[in-house]
Structure 1
């Protein structure tokens, strides 16, 4: 036991034992923390991949709806153009840019094929 001081000897012994146990486990705690950080980073990356895949599916549904509308408007050439241009790749940003360009090029009003 520690020498008698103004602090109770049992308290100093307890602090000494806690310091010894913390000092011995610091490497294990650091490794566990690094593993948790790595697991979190991987899970966030997977979550981002799933979110992007969901957005691509929503975009494909929108393109399908636009193509169906074009077919119902008696303009199959425009429907094929939408489908061909918009679904060239799975890159969401490029697909959005292509759709924006297609919508800007779209003639106003209903037009019959060949007009």
Structure 2
């Protein structure tokens, strides 16, 4: 028991024990709070990475669609002339021009 004072000895013992309990638990609670904060930060980082990847794929899809629309909007005759001029005598250019001309809608119903 504590030294004799004006306060009841059992009261001072109870307060002392509570203080020691609080001081003993403080490091564990601080570390638990730190772990919780780290876990939350890691989860948010992963969510941001997934969201960024989704946006990247959406942009990639729209760029691909736009490129295909641009290619399909070019007149076949212009494309053939352009490919022949740039790649004259190249079999790959000839095949590409033939494929593009075949893929182009004829406009007949």
| Aligned position for 2:70 | 70
Higher relative contact order (CA 8 A, sep 6+): 1
**Distance of aligned partners of 1:75 and 1:53 in 2 relative to their CA distance in 1, 3 Å threshold:** farther
Matched residues, number: 78
Structure 2: where are the runs of 5+ without partners? 84-109
CA deviation string 1:17-45 (max 9, x = no partner) = 33121111112112111211221221122
TM-score, structure 2 normalization: 0.54
Q: Give the helix-richer structure, 1 or 2.
A: 2
Provide the C-alpha distance between the structure 2 equivalents of 1:20 and 1:75, rounded to a whole number of angstroms: 86
TM-score, structure 1 normalization: 0.52
**Cα-Cα RMSD:** 3.0
| Aligned position for 2:98 | none
Shift of 1:15: 3.6
Provide the C-alpha distance between the structure 2 equivalents of 1:39 and 1:22, rounded to a whole number of angstroms: 25
